[in-house]
A = this chain, B = another copy of it.
Amino acid sequence: MYDLFFKKFRERIDLSPEEEIQIKSYLIPKKIRRRQYLLQEGDICKHIAFVEKGALREYSIEGGTEHIILFALEGWTVADLFSFLTGEPAVYTIDALEDSELVLISKSSHEELLQTQPKYETYMRLLITDAYIALQKRLTSSISLPIEERYKNFVETYPDIVQRVPQHMIASYMGLSPETLSRVRKKMLNQK
């Protein structure tokens, strides 16, 4: 339990056994079933969730259509960060695409860890920096590349997501209709 969480942590930061025990004492394990909500729009986001196993998605709903802003597979962290930090109602919904195992950190634990465990703060800083860089790449490619290139990049960057997630959700993630992605893929096949 918490294996992947600490594996990822130790990949970035040296942790003494004592520090690991300290941090571990704040973590909450949680299992969640396929299609089950972790967070619903309007709720207040009370936890950061690390995915030990399984797959989740985070999305907004506008005019009846879901717009996926994030897939979270093993090793990823997911939350409505704005809601978590401010206590405002969430604008995003999070649910499970597969039966999953999570590690939760509550808001109060998060704050206490930031105060008492310098390495936790450093790790959080690194995580959010990585997330920012990934998001910036995504945004750049969405405003500067043709769909075909964007899809190629996606497949290269996240081959595991392509395997495990329905295609119409990838279309949603890219801001496209499912039909358009289907046609782009067809065109790519014919070119080869």
Q: How far is B91's CA from A77's CA once the two chains are assembled, in angstroms?
A: 27
- A121-B122, A125-B125, A132-B132 are contacts. A143–B82 as well, Cβ < 8 Å? no
Which one of B121, B140, B173, B175 lies within 8 Å of A60 (CB-CB)? Answer: B140
Which residues from chain B contact A145 at a C-beta distance below 8 Å? 62
Tell me, yes or no, whether A28 is within 8 Å of chain B by CB: no
Query: Nearest chain B CB to A122's CB is how many angstroms away?
Result: 7
Q: How many residues on the A side are at the interface (Cβ–Cβ under 8 A)? A: 32
Give the interface SS of chain A, mostly helix, strand, loop or mixed: helix
Query: Nearest chain B CB to A90's CB is how many angstroms away?
Result: 12
- Are A135 and B133 neighbours in the complex by a CB distance under 8 Å? no
Which one of B69, B82, B91, B144 lies within 8 Å of A139 (CB-CB)? Answer: B69
A141-185 residues with Cβ-Cβ distance < 8 A to B are 142-145, 172-175
- Are A67 and B128 neighbours in the complex by a CB distance under 8 Å? no
Which residues from chain B contact A172 at a C-beta distance below 8 Å? 143
Tell me, yes or no, whether A15 is within 8 Å of chain B by CB: no
Which one of B60, B82, B136, B139 lies within 8 Å of A133 (CB-CB)? Answer: B82
- A81-B132, A129-B128 are contacts. A142–B139 as well, Cβ < 8 Å? yes
- Are B140 and A139 neighbours in the complex by a CB distance under 8 Å? no
Query: Nearest chain B CB to A168's CB is how many angstroms away?
Result: 14
Task: Look across to chain B and name the residue whose beta carbon is closest to the beta carbon of A82.
Answer: B133
- Are A125 and B121 neighbours in the complex by a CB distance under 8 Å? yes
- Are A143 and B81 neighbours in the complex by a CB distance under 8 Å? no
- Are A81 and B144 neighbours in the complex by a CB distance under 8 Å? no
Which residues from chain B contact A144 at a C-beta distance below 8 Å? 60, 62, 65, 67, 175
Query: 0/1 per residue, A28-72, Cβ < 8 Å to B?
Result: 000000000000000000000000000000001010010101000
Query: Nearest chain B CB to A35's CB is how many angstroms away?
Result: 22
